[in-house]
Structure 1
């Protein structure tokens, strides 16, 4: 299929102009040659925004985004589309769609702002829009491995700051058939005394949360005779109250039911108390 040039901009929520802080909340995209104009905006998973902009009432944040979602639907209709890229009228609307896109993304005051206009080539504008939304808003590139890497860096920096990291080092354990590496093992006189494993349990899908939790539960149980008796997992879960949160709580309960200590990876005092 022939590729077409598309223009897009990232929709940003910026309630405090003074600090220039913002959160990505959506994507708007136009493909002028095919008269395609559409958008994606986050109206459900708002925990990240409400936690970061904690001086803004959560109801206000939700209200602003829902109102803007309605406004974008109105503009999409003006451009001649119903959301799937199909024209609603017989006459050519490519100029209309492109004009509306540039009018929409023009710099103006308010809580909703736009990034600079960017360009791409694609043979599937709708698929490109979905991919951009997944990347810039849902941050699907930041999977469990990536997020756990960040957690490990945070813990390592905290140990260094509190001057308690000199006895902790990475170590692998094996039963001869199965092996796993743990990033923080307290070793005193060549004897491992305690294990800490940061685990990210905030995946987009509840099944993935349970799968990842069960993976580490199996690992710890399998290597139980090789590990020191004191095993701690520092967990980070989702911020919302959806089924993801329910899956996260279930995973945590399974760890505790198997005598594995669980601490909040973002609670520094709780983490330090568990390791001292």
Structure 2
């Protein structure tokens, strides 16, 4: 059977003055009376977006809204046959309020499985399932370009393909000296949510570096700015460490984390530029 579902995105907005928020959950009411919800279990998404925020503020707000959802689940179950009552309660739940936890305007979708639909909405709006590693790396490249511009370095770099007629690799930021590459910088996304995916993407770059080194076409300094996993899960961190250690094992190759303060990132970039170019 197909059900019509109303849903809304739960957002955490600690500073109303800026209007910035992080999507942290989904609530859903189906036409068969089912009420479902899901909230992100970890705080990393929020603390990384709002680094100056005391994480306890978020945890307290999340626990309060979670308790409210538990209470509402009982109410919805008790009145499951009264769709008018449920619809009114759902609208009251997502009504705009001046609090840190807010809801998006409601959306409508049809499904024959409300549980799967909740997961799909959560993956899309909270976990950004549409954001592939290619998308993530474009974001990292854009951020790095902004940092280079702010540091008066951007004009020294161009996008180049390093290699030869048989094999070449794209680097978004390369400093050239006549025909030789002095420095090549590549943001790389290693924040996947499965160890196998981190190894897969990391190994692809290890292979590229190995081939360029064999052809003697690596830049004098190759700097990878690597996005680490958002989770502290040991298996993810182990995969990240193994990949970055292997990359850094090649002569002239360095790896730094993308979440370093901007000042440290600029220092690492400048460290690979010959003194004559400073």
TM-score by length of 1: 0.84
* Kept in 1: contact 2:10–2:104 (CA 8 A): yes
Matches within 5 A, 1:96-245: 96-174=85-163, 178-224=167-213, 225-243=216-234, 244-245=236-237
2:37 is matched with which residue? 39
Report deviation, 1:96: 4.2
Change in Cα spacing, 1:55 to 1:188, as seen in structure 2 (3 Å) is closer
Matches within 5 A, 1:49-64: 49-64=46-61
User: Which stretches in structure 2 are left out of the alignment for 5+ residues?
Assistant: 274-278
Report deviation, 1:25: 0.9
Report deviation, 1:271: 4.1
Change in Cα spacing, 1:55 to 1:184, as seen in structure 2 (3 Å) is closer
* Kept in 1: contact 2:11–2:24 (CA 8 A): yes
2:267 is matched with which residue? 270
1:9 is matched with which residue? 8
Report deviation, 1:275: 4.3
Higher mean C-alpha deviation, range 257-266 or range 124-133: 257-266
* Paired residues, number: 265
* Kept in 1: contact 2:4–2:111 (CA 8 A): yes
Q: Distance in 2 between matches of 1:183 and 1:19?
A: 32
Q: 1:249 aligns with which of 241, 246, 253?
A: 241
Q: Distance in 2 between matches of 1:148 and 1:18?
A: 30
User: Which stretches in structure 1 are left out of the alignment for 5+ residues?
Assistant: 81-87
1:83 is matched with which residue? none
Q: Distance in 1 between matches of 2:92 and 2:211?
A: 60
1:132-172 CA distances to partner (integer Å, 9 max, x unpaired)?
11111111222210111112222233333433334422222
TM-score by length of 2: 0.83
Change in Cα spacing, 1:50 to 1:162, as seen in structure 2 (3 Å) is closer
Q: Distance in 2 between matches of 1:234 and 1:78?
A: 49
Q: Distance in 2 between matches of 1:157 and 1:56?
A: 24
Q: 1:73 aligns with which of 70, 73, 77?
A: 70
